[in-house]
Amino acid sequence: MLLASTEFTTTALLLGAFGALLLASVALSRGLDRAGVPVALLFLALGMLAGSEGLLGIPFDDYQFAFRVGSLALILILFDGGMNTSYAAVRSAIGPASVLATVGVAITAGLVALAGRALGLPWTLSLLIGAAVSSTDAATVLAVLRGSGLRLRRRLGATLELESGLNDPMAVILTISVTDALLSGAGAGWSLLYLAPMQLLIGAGLGAGVGWLARRLMMRIQLRAVGMYPVITLGVALLAFGGATLLMGSGFLAVYAAALVIGNGEVPYAAALRRIHDAIAWLCQIGMFLMLGLLVFPSQLLPMLLPGLALGFFLAFIARPLAVAICLAPFRFPAKETGYLGWVGLRGAVPIILATFPVLADAPGAKGVFNLVFFTVVVNAIVPGATVRWVTRRLGLEVPETPTPSAVLEVASMRPLKGDLRSYYIDKSLAVCGASLSQVAFPEGAGAALVVRGDELVAARGATALREGDHVYIFCRPEDRAFIELLFGRPQGDAPTPEI
Amino acid sequence: MVAAPAGIATIADPTRPATPKTTMNILDIITPDCIKAPLEAQDKKAAIYELVDLLAKADKVDDVEGLRDAVWSREQTRTTGIGHGLAIPHGKCVGIPRLAMAIGMPAKPMDFAAIDGKPVQLIILLASPIDRTSDHIQALARISKIMHPEPFRERIYAAKSAAEIYELLREAEKAT
């Protein structure tokens, strides 16, 4: 009885503390957002404050738990990223993003390893650090930009986003190979040259296949309980990861590919699914960084101060920019875009989670690597991270973002409907700006559903005139979409037209 | 847990303004001297500027810079490359006395960032006075309608000269 009540109290305390940390993270994130600093740093700091050497003194040093929960969080964050990436964005950026995600990762890892060696670390540990910090995290950059109402030019944003969706697998492959080499005492070997492409191919193929089957399944079965649909997509994410990993493929790439296929096709309750996965991704993002913060002992970080700073700066100022310049040379990016991509390749949670892997494998010197990687990521998030907004504006790489309507109208359906309802921002350059709805030559079967004017909802009647700054909801069939966009411009939420 | 109906529509009955009957005839706004085939321009922006210059040469624009800015601003909100090889850039500006149109055929299919990702084979630029919104919309609808049938598009894309393009448009207007 005593044991049961103690367990109950401990669980309640832990869950209560976790809840309070989540709330604090969300409440404080807005302030950091305004300052233009990646919010991930806040979650990490809160985790450290709550940890065994912090205010709450929560003891946590379970690397295995951290690795598993971290992997789960990454899967769900990647899945959300894939669901929100359009095929058009993939098409526009697949070339440069693929090279950055493979060759770029290898170059970055190699250069950081050289720097580690120059600092006096053994080759194997240097390679391990290089491999762990080699992948980028677009979510960190894009969150900073979103916080400032900025949107990157289409190909630039798509390259950054797609690269970070594709480069985790390469970093995972490198880290596992180097860890294995560390344990066996043998070199990483040339097998990487064929293992890496093979794993990527299996991951992409299997993920796309799982995604395609899942989409067909969701269209076929008609579930009465709407809440079951996100259960399917969550299951797909986990299955794609597990299946591909067991079949010697890249699990993370499989997750991303499955989500791409689902997100770009018709699925029931698509808008609601996106919102649910967005919420899950945020929860994972906050939870994962809090946990990684808990896992760190500040006292152990202090000895890493100098090498950590050195590696962080080397990564930001030399390794990443150089890798990007080499990889993008064949793609004719303007110099300022190449420079920008080189500067804003921020690191996120992936390196820290990857650094737990050698600790779990009991590789010699692994704890030191974990602390050094942690430090490098934090330095990297602060130095280029805090300048992202300023650099974006300074280089003029943002595209104007239309304001979002104060009211959202959407059609939710468990069956695919012929037609959709989208909101359009009335810019003064549009043909329909100043026209009354009765003057608009709507095709048969298309029409305006609602006008949102500031905080006011205006009935869409024939006499209603469209004013600059209005948001108008238009219902139309797929075959009329091109004409509707000719009159009303870009639907809200769609990526801007690529600049050519 | 709530069982879901087959379709939950948060709007019951969208108000649909009746499709207005259009009496627009595009031959009223296009003249043979405002058609150019092939264009000298190699890219989207240069093609738009070349067509604006064509209108200016025909004395249909008072403010060339204003019209360039208006059409380019519209192009930034969303491409007017509406697919199937057709682009209809357009803009409203005070320096246009009356509705005017210029047509250009790129020397080779041109990247216009069209919504279907395909290059553009014909560019129809429409310029309108600020206060002629209704006519502007009707003209866009009329151009889209005329260009809709695939056989007609194929014929006009295969045209070899400005005169041939004008003749094809004349036939199309006559037929409808």
Rounded to an integer, what distance in angstroms lies between the CA atom of residue A472 and that of residue A291?
A: 43
Within 10 Å of residue A149's Cβ, how many Cβ atoms?
Answer: 12
Distance from CA of A225 to the nearest CA of B (A): 5
Angle between helix axes A105-118 and A305-314 (nearest 10 degrees) is 140
Location of structure tokens 């919010």: A39
**SS3 labels along B69-109:** HHHHHHHHHCCCEEECCEECCEEECCCCCCCEEEEEEECCC
* Among the partner residues B6, B76, B140, nearest to A487 by beta-carbon distance: B140
Side-chain-side CA neighbours of B176 within 13 Å: the count stands at 19
Q: First-to-last CA distance in chain A?
A: 72
Q: First-to-last CA distance in chain B?
A: 56
Rounded to an integer, what distance in angstroms lies between the CA atom of residue A395 and that of residue A47?
A: 35
DSSP code per residue over A181-247: HHHHSS---THHHHHHHHHHHHHHHHHHHHHHHHHHHHHH---SBTTHHHHHHHHHHHHHHHHHHHT
Pairwise CB contact (< 8 Å): A441 & B20: yes
pLDDT band at B13 (very low <50, low <70, confident <90, very high): very low
Least Cα distance to A133 among A308, A254, A298, A365 occurs for: A308
Q: What is the pLDDT along chain A (500 residues), one digit of tens a residue?
A: 555 678 888 888 888 988 988 898 888 877 776 666 677 888 888 888 888 888 888 888 888 899 899 899 989 988 998 898 888 788 888 999 999 998 999 999 999 999 999 998 888 889 889 999 998 886 676 666 666 666 787 788 888 888 888 888 888 888 888 887 777 766 556 666 677 788 889 999 999 999 999 999 988 887 878 888 999 999 999 999 999 999 989 899 999 999 999 998 888 888 889 889 989 988 998 888 889 888 888 888 888 888 889 999 999 999 999 999 999 999 988 999 999 999 988 888 888 888 888 888 887 888 888 889 988 888 888 888 788 888 888 888 877 667 778 778 877 776 667 788 889 999 999 999 999 999 998 988 899 999 999 889 999 999 999 999 999 999 998 888 899 999 999 888 665 555 55
Pairwise CB contact (< 8 Å): A412 & B8: yes
| Structural domain boundaries enclosing B89 | 26-175
Q: Does A417 touch chain B (CB under 8 A)?
A: yes
H-helix or E-strand spanning residue A369:
helix A366-382
CB-count burial class (<10 Å; 0-12, 13-18, 19+) for A52: middle
Asked whether residue B15 is domain-assigned, the answer is no
Asked whether residue B9 is domain-assigned, the answer is no
Pairwise CB contact (< 8 Å): B17 & A462: yes
pLDDT on residue A35: 67
Asked whether residue B17 is domain-assigned, the answer is no
Q: Which residue of A has its CA nearest to B136?
A: A431
* Among the partner residues B1, B74, B144, nearest to A429 by beta-carbon distance: B74
Least Cα distance to B10 among A423, A450, A227, A412 occurs for: A412
pLDDT on residue B5: 39
pLDDT on residue B18: 38
**pLDDT value at B12 more than 50:** no
Q: Does A418 touch chain B (CB under 8 A)?
A: no
Which chain A positions have a beta carbon within 8 Å of B115's beta carbon? 482, 485
Asked whether residue B10 is domain-assigned, the answer is no
* Among the partner residues B7, B15, B133, nearest to A417 by beta-carbon distance: B7
Asked whether residue B13 is domain-assigned, the answer is no
Helices within A119-153 (DSSP H only): 123-132, 138-147
Q: Does A480 touch chain B (CB under 8 A)?
A: no
Residue B127 forms beta bridges with which residues? B91, B100
Which chain A positions have a beta carbon within 8 Å of B80's beta carbon? 486
* Among the partner residues B76, B83, B137, nearest to A440 by beta-carbon distance: B137
Rounded to an integer, what distance in angstroms lies between the CA atom of residue A69 and that of residue A422?
A: 37
Which chain A positions have a beta carbon within 8 Å of B138's beta carbon? 441
Asked whether residue B73 is domain-assigned, the answer is yes
Pairwise CB contact (< 8 Å): B137 & A441: yes
Distance from CA of A342 to the nearest CA of B (A): 26
Helix (H, G, I), strand (E, B) or coil at B7: strand
Asked whether residue B112 is domain-assigned, the answer is yes
Q: What CATH number does the domain containing B64 carry?
A: 3.40.930.10
Residue A413 forms beta bridges with which residues? B7
The answer to whether the CB of A327 falls within 8 A of the CB of A345 is no
Least Cα distance to B90 among B150, B133, B149 occurs for: B133
Q: Which residue of A has its CA nearest to B20?
A: A441
Q: Which 8-state DSSP code applies to residue A402?
A: P
Distances (CA, A) of A181 to A97, A176, A184, A187: 28, 8, 5, 5
Structure tokens at A400: 């104007």
Suggest the residue from A221, A429, A480, A488 to mutate for an interface test with chain B (most B CBs closer than 10 A): A429
Domain count, chain B: 1
H-helix or E-strand spanning residue A342:
helix A335-343
Across A67-142, the runs of DSSP E, i.e. the strands, are none
% of chain B exceeding 70 in pLDDT: 87
Note if the bond before B129 is cis, omega within 30 degrees. Answer: no
pLDDT on residue A424: 93
DSSP code per residue over A271-299: HHHHHHHHHHHHHHHHHHHHHHHHH--HH
pLDDT on residue B8: 35
* Among the partner residues B17, B83, B134, nearest to A442 by beta-carbon distance: B17
The answer to whether the CB of A167 falls within 8 A of the CB of A104 is yes
Rounded to an integer, what distance in angstroms lies between the CA atom of residue A483 and that of residue B25?
A: 19
Angle between helix axes A154-184 and A63-83 (nearest 10 degrees) is 150
Asked whether residue B4 is domain-assigned, the answer is no
* Residues present in chain B in total: 176
Which of residues 348 through 377 in chain A touch B, CB cutoff 8 A? none
Residue B120 forms beta bridges with which residues? B110
Distances (CA, A) of B99 to A111, A258, B126: 61, 50, 7
**pLDDT value at B21 more than 80:** no
pLDDT on residue A161: 83
Within 10 Å of residue A394's Cβ, how many Cβ atoms?
Answer: 11
